[in-house]
Amino acid sequence: MYKNIFEAERAITSLILKDNNCSGHFRYAYQPNTCKLDLITYNPVHKTHFLLHTITGTTQLDTLNKMYNYVFNLKKTLKSKENKISNYTINWYNNENQETFNSSFYGISLIDVIRKFYYGKSQDSITIFNIKLNPIS
């Protein structure tokens, strides 16, 4: 795996950019013997960020390597019969720029998806019109 933080962050952001043309951003929280990482995506089309995934490890590099594995294997995981992750589409309205968008999310539950959607945002800034659980392919 990766031996330095910058290389790992670049590899993760490259995977995200290739998949959906979004950028990836990293928010770390440290506690004794633990590093928590929130991986956030930013979509330049609607100028909004969302939480992609949260993971913990023993060090920053350990956490980044775990996150890389999660992002790299996500598509394969979704196709697995043992998969517990569902795909949702959220139709939402940005109250600031008065535009409507559709965004796709993966989560273990509807509550998980809503948490990722509203990450770092005021609930007053966005109106959700519809949340759809997409069929398993």
Domain 84-136 class in CATH? alpha beta
Domain ranges of the chain: 1-81, 84-136
Q: What angle do CA 126, 128, 27 make, to 5 degrees?
A: 55
The residue with tokens 């069929």 is: 135
Q: Do 1-81 and 84-136 show the same overall fold? A: no
d(CA 117, CA 48): 10
The fold for domain 1-81 equals Double Stranded RNA Binding Domain (3.30.160)
For residue 110, give the amino acid letter: L
d(CA 103, CA 66): 25
Structure tokens at 112: 């998980």
pLDDT in tens, the chain (137 residues): 899 999 999 999 999 999 999 999 999 999 999 999 999 999 999 999 999 999 999 999 999 999 999 999 998 888 787 788 999 999 999 999 999 999 999 999 999 999 999 999 999 999 999 999 998 76
Q: Say whether pTM exceeds 0.85.
A: yes
pLDDT confidence of residue 79: 78
pLDDT confidence of residue 76: 84
pLDDT confidence of residue 77: 85
pLDDT confidence of residue 116: 98
CB 92 within 8 A of CB 103: yes
